[in-house]
Amino acid sequence: MGKTKRGKGTKLMALADSSGLPLAVCTASASPHEVTLVGATLEASFLDERPERLIGDRAYDSDPLDEALAEEGIEMIAPHRNNRRKPKTQDGRKLRRYKRRWKIERLFAWLSNFRRLVVRYERRAENYLGLVKLGCVVILLRYL
């Protein structure tokens, strides 16, 4: 989301349903890669059930991530990176669902409407995560 008063920033990971409503949010330091934070985001889910498929951008093109999610019964849909050395694992049929990735971007746009989340006045990550979850609750209540 941006730089804080004490460091480089915070990475906000979110999981949304087909309508763009939040299912899970997780915060972490800005330095680790998104692939390493997928498991923590799934664990932070508001629901007990796991999603059938995850749609991510090119950064999520990782064979170990695909294998770990396949063990849990989750299908990862992400376009391949341009510099991929191994053979491709997905064809164009699954990537048609990638067009729906704008719905998670819409969730982040909705969260950006809350100034306190964008500016991030909180120094503690727990307080920031609490306010992000409060923003998710407000989004869910507006939808109902």
pLDDT digits (tens, 9 = 90+) for 25-40: 999 888 888 888 888 8
Contact 75, 69 (CB under 8 A): yes
Q: How confident is the prediction for the chain on average, in pLDDT?
A: 84
- Number of Cβ atoms within 10 Å of the Cβ of 77: 17
Q: For 74, which DSSP code?
A: -
Tell me how far CA of residue 110 lies from CA of 24, 47, 49, 75, 80, in angstroms: 15, 21, 24, 26, 28
pLDDT bracket for residue 8 (50, 70, 90): low
Contact 22, 139 (CB under 8 A): yes
Predicted TM-score (pTM) of the model is: 0.80
Q: Is the pLDDT of residue 2 over 70?
A: no
